[in-house]
A and B are shown apart, each in its own frame.
Chain A
Amino acid sequence: MVAASSRKRKGKIRWSKLYSFAACFRPLTSKERLAARELIGQPGFSRVVFCNEPHLHKRKPYKYPYNYISTTKYNVLTFLPRALFEQFRRVANFYFLLAAIFSLFSLAPFSRASLIAPLVFVVGISMLKEAVEDWHRFLQDLDVNNRTVKTHISNGVFVDKLWKELRVGDVVKVNKGEYFPSDLLLLSSGNEDGVCYVETMNLDGETNLKIKRCLEASLCLNEDEEFSKFKATVHCEDPNPNLYTFVGNIEFEKESYPLSPSQLLLRDSKLRNTDYIYGVVIFSGHDTKAVQNSTRSPSKRSRIERKMDHIIYILFSMLVLVSLVSSFGSLLYLRQDMVDWWYLQLPDDNKFIRALILYGYLIPISLYVSIEVVKVLQTMLINKDIELYDDVTCKSVQARTSNLNEELGQVEMILSDKTGTLTCNQMEFRKCSIAGVSYGGDITEVDLAASMRMNADFEPFEFSIDETDGATRSFEPFEFSVSSFSAQNGNARLTKTEGPVIKGFNFRDDRLMNENWIHGSNLFDITMFFRVMALCHTGIPLEDDNHKTDKLSYEAESPEEVSFLIASQEEYKLLNLLEFSSSRKRMSVIVSNEDGQIFLLCKGADSPLKPPYHLCHVFPLVLILSIIFDRLADNGRAYEQATTMHLSSYAEDGLRTLAFAYRTIEAAEYESWNTIFTQAKATIGPEREELLEQASEMIEKDLILLGVVAVEDKLQKGVPECIDKLAQAGLKIWLLTGDKRETAINIGFACSLLRQDMKQFHLSLSRDAESNNQVKDMKEDILQQIESSYKMVCEERNKEAPFGLVIDGKALEIALRGDVKDEFLQLAVNCASVICCRVSPKQKALITRLVKQYTGKTTLAIGDGANDVGMIQEADIGVGISGMEGMQAVMASDFSLPQFRFLERLLIVHGHWCYQRISKMVLYFVYKNVAFGLTLFYYELYTSFSGEVLYDDWYMTMFNVMLTSLPVIALGVLEQDVSSDICLQ
């Protein structure tokens, strides 16, 4: 066991070495880098940081803020004026303020107290609510600001320092599992090679770890003592919200080194798999990219509330009208009759203002308060709804702001995050096809969704089972057991599937579960298949310190790989690793086994390609996006046809597919290739990528196809049904994800966002435009694509087929610019579902805002990670999933749900009810006040418009606030025009 663990540790270091050349996950092109270097010192790139000399940053011009952040709306001084201003922005409140002021000048028909008291009451309650909400924000900030971090003071001594006291230039030491207190420049890490792993879930929602790598020059700074004399100067860009760029250079020991984003550790991300790192604070507090990225939480007002202002304007004009009539009437009386009314003795004074105040009862002062009370009660009802209770997490729906209940019923656009929102963020190994035979056939949720989609219950699915079974019998009469297989392979450890259910492994097939598989005819292929599965990955085996068992937990760059890891494990000597990149869409490892045999194991994201729509009927064949299939040797195509079929059927079920292949390499061939590859790897500069790609190309050929695996990105419970219902209810759903396009599309299919009968448009930058990096070219490129797609939409609108739009982050960035924006939105709005992949948090927020502005419809954004905060705040309604990822999304949201599927009931039932209730209540309220106010007016007809009041002052004051409030509130809280079942139909 000891030996095993030490081997593992060695393994870990080795893995990180392998990684070192892939450190920049999106390296800048050479041109960009050169341009960036020239920019330093220019406006926008003027920041200078004296590392380890924070005292220099206390005076101008290098004075930067402390690392203190504040998200509160008010402070002690500004609370009163600002909150009052907010209150009196409401028309009704302003009117009553005026009335109260007039009452001081004895013009008013009522006593002063009876005018001022309700106003104070109403405004007071609202302000109290604001104050409490802000107080909670303050406490939250306090908590964050008072976290501590080890900071260097002098002579290599590190002491705990509060986050808020951190200054630019401070050297800090962050330990494993801690959050970075601000944006840090990575100096060195606990790993020898200066690599560290960072989880950026809070920033972009991706759960995979990112690799950051320090400069060679600062590698030696890996002990506390080293920092006693450390001095360096950093010149870099000014604070900006762009998460993926960083330009700067560091002057260290009289030499200047360029810096890139891979040296920048961002606030709100977390150190993982690395014992500790040393870093220098570059941006602090509000300058950090994370804070710059966060949008200020706007105070949201529901549409009804805005409408209410209109109602009040109308009432107000009615009031003015009635008052005018009154004062004219009074004037007439005064002129003609009243002269003779000896018992009055003298003429009268200003009638108009008095009348304005008198008929003030047309304006419901307590409407706002009552609505607020009603909303709070409605919120309680929503929170207590047992149907919205999740047994698993023991959480229920939380309406965090009560302002937007009725808005739920008005939602027309849903913008959803993917990871953690629609999916559980768990990958499951579901099916595989080895040597032309398909294994694994449980009914997946995705299958269910797929069959539901086809409106034919389970028939198509059963059909597919039959088909595979039939095929199996003819090809493969033997049964396998995964566990015995692993035993055969000696050092491979495979967790027994008979044991407790393993997360990420949802694979049941008796043919691979029994003992006799060894007698299979294509034993070699199967062994090879599992070998590829086991070796061709970037997973990092990690000892699970917490559980002290010999189970391993896995951390990997992409969650789907974790599931492969769990499915099979083996150790070989790794010779080379050919990185996965989005352009290559495949990765390979070159390994040698104990016999010295060298294999190239290759894994590629082969997936069925949707043929152009109009060709669909002509060629019923499935085209394969050939990554591996193109590179097969002639003798490697034995299973091509069967595998292709399986591949397409898996993909149709919404599973993510990967194809496996291998080849044996002669030692001599390997040697010669390896020199080329090593050379390419050693190259620094712009050609490196290209050289590496060429080298890979050379060796990845003449492959022998083994099979494909299908991994399910596990959907949350009830997601497809929920989306289906919502789509039926006429809501448009957009998927905004930071994930890869393939992943996004797969999930789109899995959760019935995309359907086979949908016509898809893909918007992405063409390679030429991208490489030129010319905004104008890119713009034209995108514009052209949009126009051609839109033309198609217009032409085919009458046909039944709905449209789906898929767009990636870079294209989106161009598409959302000023002049292209409108065309893009026009196209997008006409599509039934839109999928945006590779989008940054800021883009999510931007899309949300644009959609909201462009369509003018109520938008709802739902997400679970901190990367969704922007869009949650931007949307009319923000919903946070209180799942596993942090609480940021929930804190920023208006509603929090434990599961996506509750959205259906929340929107359709509660949204409907709340809207009904509030509208009825507002109408009732207006009716009641108009009815009451008009009696006053009618009475004026009998008092020669003198402004005498029919009722007692206090009775009138109480009328709204107390006497008639209960029935209205009861209506607002409890009314159900239709039962929930009918709503859901």
Chain B
Amino acid sequence: MGVIFIPVGLVTLRASHCVVEIVDRYDIDCVPEPSRMDKVSYIQDDSIPKNCSRFMKVHKYMKAPIYIYYQLDNYYQNHRRYVKSRSDKQLLDGQKYHDTSSCQPVESNNNRPIVPCGLIAWSLFNDTFEFIREGAELKVNRKNIAWKSDRGHKFGKNVYPFNFQNGTLIGGGKLNPEIPEDLIVWMRTSALPSFRKLYGRIEEDLDVDDVVVVNLMNNYNTYSFGGKKKLVLSTSSWLGGKNDFLGHACVFVGCSSLTLAIIFMLLHVKYRRLDRSVELVGLGIGWGASLERF
């Protein structure tokens, strides 16, 4: 076990180290100094422009494609009420599917069904990002960011937003006449309260010491529940993004099994002369006894 796990862990760790990642938390810095006392009212005030510029310095050569993620922390996309509030059938068939009861509490407005209905769609993330390097805009590919299966099978081609974000409560982003891939990404809810979602890809390499200017629209309200917003630029290895956990876990398991193996071997050498049957019967009684304990 140890022999297998330790090398695997080391290889995984190495792959993880190859990944270059730039993380920038912008949710606080993008609120102007005077409004920082009351960020919630700032974000809810539509009259204030939400433009914001960030500078990201590349500290290591990054090979294309460079993935752009936004990361939300302390955002419970996995809450049961939230997860359940969607209608997969409607997303596939559009307005033709009338039963939106599963989308509570955002199922209809003015007695007309909402497309796409439900809390998840309603709370769509709506910050936008533009990347500029040395005065020139970096091209961001925003196609094919959702799962292929989601695009192909879960979301209908002919589904158009209807009656969306028309209610008294406005949640997240509004939708153009078409369903964007952003929504598809967003609607694949995250399992953990801290998650990243793919925004797009930069298909040019970034050199060391390049400075990327990010012009972003800070629209999304994470301030009321104390959530964080981060922008992540990351390359990928054969193993995916930067993740040390798998490697560490493998190495740990490998080491512990090696240690145990050595201990048991020593024990065996020491107590070898014991009558085998006695030992085994003893073990047997142990099993029985452990059940008796219940």
Contacts and interface: CB of A to CB of B under 8 A. Distances in A.
Is B truly associated with A? yes
Interface of A: 109, 304, 307, 310-311, 314, 337, 340-346, 348, 912, 915-916, 919-920, 922-923, 939, 942-944, 946-948, 950, 977-978, 982, 985
A143 B150 CA distance: 66
B79 interface: yes
A477 to B, nearest CB: 56
A943 B78 CA distance: 6
A886 B136 CA distance: 102
A944 B76 contact: yes
Nearest to A948: B80
B280 interface: yes
A943 B224 contact: no
A343 B123 contact: yes
Contact of B290 (A337, A923, A943, A982): A923
B171 interface: yes
B247 to A, nearest CB: 22
B119 A344 contact: yes
Interface in B226-266: 226
B291 A922 contact: yes
B22 to A, nearest CB: 26
Interface string B79-115: 1111100000000000000000000011000000000
28 contacts: A311-B294, A314-B294, A337-B225, A342-B123, A342-B171, A342-B225, A343-B75, A343-B172, A344-B82, A348-B80, A915-B288, A919-B288, A919-B290, A923-B287, A942-B78, A942-B192, A943-B76, A943-B80, A944-B76, A946-B79, A947-B80, A948-B79, A948-B83, A950-B191, A977-B280, A977-B283, A977-B287, A978-B284
Given A344-B79, A919-B288, A978 B277 contact: yes
A344 B78 CA distance: 11
Contacts of B79: 341, 344, 943-944, 946, 948
Given A307-B291, A943-B193, A982-B280, A343 B80 contact: no
B16 interface: no
B169 A912 contact: no
Contacts of B191: 939, 942, 950
Contacts of B292: 307
Q: Is the interface of A mostly helix, strand, loop or mixed?
A: helix
Contacts of B122: 343
A203 B191 CA distance: 71
Given A944-B79, A948-B80, 10 more contacts: A310-B294, A340-B226, A344-B76, A344-B82, A345-B106, A942-B191, A942-B192, A943-B193, A946-B82, A977-B280
Contacts, number: 92
Contact of A344 (B81, B193, B226, B284): B81
Contacts of B82: 343-344, 946
A348 B171 CA distance: 19
The 10 closest A-B pairs by CB, nearest first: A946-B80, A343-B123, A919-B291, A948-B80, A943-B78, A946-B79, A340-B225, A982-B277, A947-B80, A311-B294
Contacts of A939: 191
B291 A341 contact: no
Contacts of B81: 344, 346, 348, 946
Nearest to B283: A977
A886 B75 CA distance: 76
Contacts of A985: 277
Given A307-B291, A343-B119, A948-B83, A978 B281 contact: yes
A922 B76 CA distance: 38
Given A307-B294, A942-B192, A978-B280, A916 B78 contact: no
B221 interface: yes
A781 to B, nearest CB: 43
B287 A919 contact: yes
Contacts of B294: 307, 310-311, 314
Nearest to B278: A982
Contacts of A943: 76, 78-80, 193
B80 A342 contact: no
A314 B291 CA distance: 13
A919 B291 CA distance: 6
A936 to B, nearest CB: 12
Contacts of B221: 342
B193 to A, nearest CB: 6
A919 B292 CA distance: 9
A125 B284 CA distance: 32
Nearest to A920: B287
Interface string B161-181: 000000001011000000000
Contacts of B277: 978, 982, 985
Contact of A977 (B171, B226, B284, B291): B284
A912 B284 contact: yes
Contacts of A342: 123, 171, 221, 224-225
A947 B224 CA distance: 23
Contacts of A919: 287-288, 290-291
Interface string B115-142: 0000100110000000000000000000
A341 B171 CA distance: 11
Contacts of A922: 291
Contacts of A982: 277, 280-281
Contacts of A923: 287, 290-291
B80 A916 contact: no
A948 B120 CA distance: 15
A968 to B, nearest CB: 15
Q: Which of B79, B123, B225, B280 has the most CB of A within 10 A?
A: B79
Name the residue in A109, A343, A919, A922 with the highest tally of chain B Cβ atoms < 10 Å from its Cβ.
A343
A942 B190 CA distance: 11
Nearest to B40: A340
A307 B294 CA distance: 8
Contacts of B169: 345
A920 B286 CA distance: 10
B171 A343 contact: yes
Contacts of A978: 277, 280-281, 284
Nearest to B79: A946
A777 B106 CA distance: 90
Given A310-B294, A944-B193, A985-B277, A345 B225 contact: no
Contacts of A343: 75, 82, 119, 122-123, 171-172
Contacts of A314: 294
A978 B282 CA distance: 11
A927 to B, nearest CB: 11
B294 to A, nearest CB: 5
B8 to A, nearest CB: 23
A341 B80 CA distance: 13
Contact of B225 (A310, A341, A946, A977): A341
Given A310-B294, A348-B81, A942 B105 contact: no
**Residue among B123, B171, B225, B291 with most chain A CB within 10 A:** B291
Most chain A CB within 10 A, of B106, B123, B172, B284, is at: B284
A939 B106 CA distance: 26
Contact of A946 (B76, B280, B290): B76
A311 B105 CA distance: 42
Contacts of A109: 80
Nearest to A314: B294
A943 B190 CA distance: 10
A304 B191 CA distance: 40
B251 to A, nearest CB: 22
Given A311-B294, A946-B76, A977-B280, A345 B105 contact: yes
A342 B105 CA distance: 12
Nearest to B276: A982
Nearest to B224: A340
B284 A346 contact: no
B23 to A, nearest CB: 21
Nearest to B78: A943
Interface in B22-42: none
B76 A916 contact: no
B222 to A, nearest CB: 10
